[in-house]
Amino acid sequence: MMTGEQYRRSMQDGRQTYYQGKRIDDITSHPDLGRVVDLIAAGYDRWYRPGEDVRHPLMSPPRSPEEMRERIPIMETLDVLTESTYQSMGTLATAAGRLRDEHPQIADRILAYLDDARRRDIRITECITDSKGDRSRKPSAQDDPDQYVHVVGRSDGGVIIRGAKLHITGASFCHDMMVIPTKRMRPGEDEYSIACMVPVASPGVQIVNVGFVPRTGDPRDQPASWAKAMFDGFVIFNDVFVPNERVLLDGKPELAAVFAHSLGLWERLGGVTYMVDQADEVVGLAVLIAEANGLSKVSHVREKIDELAIHATMLRAGLEAAISNAHATSEGYCYPDELYTNAAKYQGATGYGTMIRHLLDIAGGSVFTVPAMADFDNPELGANLRKYMSTSNTIDGEYRARLFATIRNLTADEFGGWRLIAMLQSGGGLFAQRIVARAKYDFDAARRRALKAAGLGDHVPPSAV
């Protein structure tokens, strides 16, 4: 396994990465990007165990609902990139299983890669969303044929790819990118049916970093920005050469969706777990700030907290139902029930705004206007700020100010904005969640029940939805 220090050095490999208009030669020493390197390195150190045969214990998917449930609190402690690595490895293992019978060579190549990646203890990110161009046209019918990553050349030892992938979590901070088709491909779209593992430092790979970092130098002002700093990558493939042993799929449109669908299974577990946790966190913040404001006995405040708690409970019910109705891949890996998972994600995403509104309504305007912690540290100001941010002898002014700052950070600055959008878009937007629900809900059973209610139990319904 790798140590944090080894990870740092591995980032200094000439990768072509940009930030705010500038090429960054060494991300480890950059004031903003370096923060993310620090977080990931700390994660390496936390899990490091010496020995040749040691592997990261989480880099294999759970094999039972119980194991799935037990891992939830552990997954929360991982940094986002390590979670992406976990999901990528689960995706590859699942895809290998699905391809085993008909395409044993591909399955073997995937497993060989996977063994090596686990041995080297590298971090991998999922590279799936293409730039897409006009969403109403298919890949081969775009004005610009490069709007979906595709093969533009071949040589003895590999393929040459071109295109761009968007919203790539931690692209500049990982070792390999799992480049897979964003969706089902059709006959004739052979060149778009490409899946491969691309080292970040490959010539021709450009990454533009977009993300959030703390605005002030004090973690008390923005605790989440400090703890969860991360950059998404806008990844451009300028005719990038990929050697054959890293090419997992090439030119079989009928197999293009295997990877995305496998990924979907592992993404869902993370997505809904995260939502459920956040919902409970919002309840907790609402309770604390209500108490700090002296409002916890006020009826309309209590009711808003009740609604927050019911919301959190229903999301958790979705997770519980998804786990207790878990399914297994043919390789015996467990994944949560997709219908319950997606329904919970849909509800979490559609309800998020109202929950945040309740929290902000309870908290009041100081969420935005609370002074910086540096102001509290200023000897001319500190005593006054503590005095006037206190609400009674039992509520300390700085404690209350930090609650406001935390709520602002989680809901009303760049981190809050990122979370709002992530709630809505991760794993596909609301429409995508609906489509999955549509595909998995048992409409035939519902129709039979309705026919029975109408006294038409014997009627054969005319057609399927």
How far apart CA 67 and CA 403 sit, in angstroms, is 35
| Residues 29-68: x where in contact with a second copy by CB under 8 A, - otherwise, as a string | ----------------------------------------
- Given CA atoms 141, 147, 148, 151 in this order, what sign does their dihedral have? positive
Which residue's CB is nearer to a second copy, number 3 or number 206?
206
**What radius of gyration, in Å, describes the C-alpha atoms of the chain?**
24
Which residue's CB is nearer to a second copy, number 60 or number 142?
142
Which residue's CB is nearer to a second copy, number 89 or number 322?
322
Which helix (DSSP H) or strand (DSSP E) does residue 9 occupy? helix 4-11
Contact positions with a second copy (CB under 8 A) in 313-342? 313-314, 316-318, 320-322, 324-325, 339-340, 342
- Pick the binder of a second copy from 283, 333, 334, 335 (CB under 8 A): 283
How far apart CA 243 and CA 159 sit, in angstroms, is 7
The interface region with a second copy, picked from 49-57, 89-97, 175-183, 230-238 by CB under 8 A, is 230-238
The least CB distance from residue 208 to a second copy, in Å, is 4
DSSP 376-420: HHSTTTHHHHHHHH--BTTB-HHHHHHHHHHHHHHHSSHHHHHHH
Which residue's CB is nearer to a second copy, number 86 or number 352?
352
Which residue's CB is nearer to a second copy, number 99 or number 436?
436
Contact positions with a second copy (CB under 8 A) in 154-193? 163-164, 166-167
Which helix (DSSP H) or strand (DSSP E) does residue 320 occupy? helix 299-324
CA distances to 31, 270, 355 from 348, rounded to whole Å, are 35, 14, 9
- Pick the binder of a second copy from 232, 274, 275, 334 (CB under 8 A): 232
How far apart CA 129 and CA 131 sit, in angstroms, is 7
**245: DSSP letter:** G
Which residue's CB is nearer to a second copy, number 150 or number 402?
402
| Residues 254-273: x where in contact with a second copy by CB under 8 A, - otherwise, as a string | --------------------
Contact positions with a second copy (CB under 8 A) in 337-366? 339-340, 342-344, 346-347, 349-350, 352-354, 356-357, 360-361, 364-366
Which residue's CB is nearer to a second copy, number 94 or number 169?
169
DSSP 246-290: GEEEES-GGGHHHHHHHHHHHHHHHHHHHHHHHHHHHHHHHHHHH
Using DSSP's 3-state secondary structure scheme, residue 144 falls into coil
Contact positions with a second copy (CB under 8 A) in 406-465? 406, 408, 410-414, 416-418, 420-422, 424-425, 429-431, 434, 437-438, 441, 443, 445-451, 453-456, 459, 461-463, 465
Which residue's CB is nearer to a second copy, number 63 or number 438?
438
How far apart CA 202 and CA 175 sit, in angstroms, is 10
The least CB distance from residue 116 to a second copy, in Å, is 30
- Given CA atoms 444, 449, 453, 459 in this order, what sign does their dihedral have? positive
The least CB distance from residue 309 to a second copy, in Å, is 4
The interface region with a second copy, picked from 20-28, 82-90, 109-117, 188-196 by CB under 8 A, is 20-28
Contact positions with a second copy (CB under 8 A) in 291-310? 291-300, 302-303, 305-307, 309-310
Rounded-to-5 percentages of helix, strand, coil across the chain? 55, 15, 30
**Does 140 engage in binding with a second copy (CB under 8 A)?**
no
Give the other-Cβ count within 10 Å of 50's Cβ. 7
CA distances to 99, 172, 399 from 178, rounded to whole Å, are 17, 13, 44
| Adjacent-strand bridge partners of 207 | 17, 235
Helices within 162-215 (DSSP H only): none
Which residue's CB is nearer to a second copy, number 49 or number 387?
387
Which residue's CB is nearer to a second copy, number 105 or number 453?
453
- Pick the binder of a second copy from 1, 3, 18, 38 (CB under 8 A): 18
Contact positions with a second copy (CB under 8 A) in 368-387? 368-375, 377-378, 380-381, 384-385, 387
Show the tokens assigned to 86: 């976990």
The least CB distance from residue 401 to a second copy, in Å, is 10
Which residue's CB is nearer to a second copy, number 187 or number 431?
431
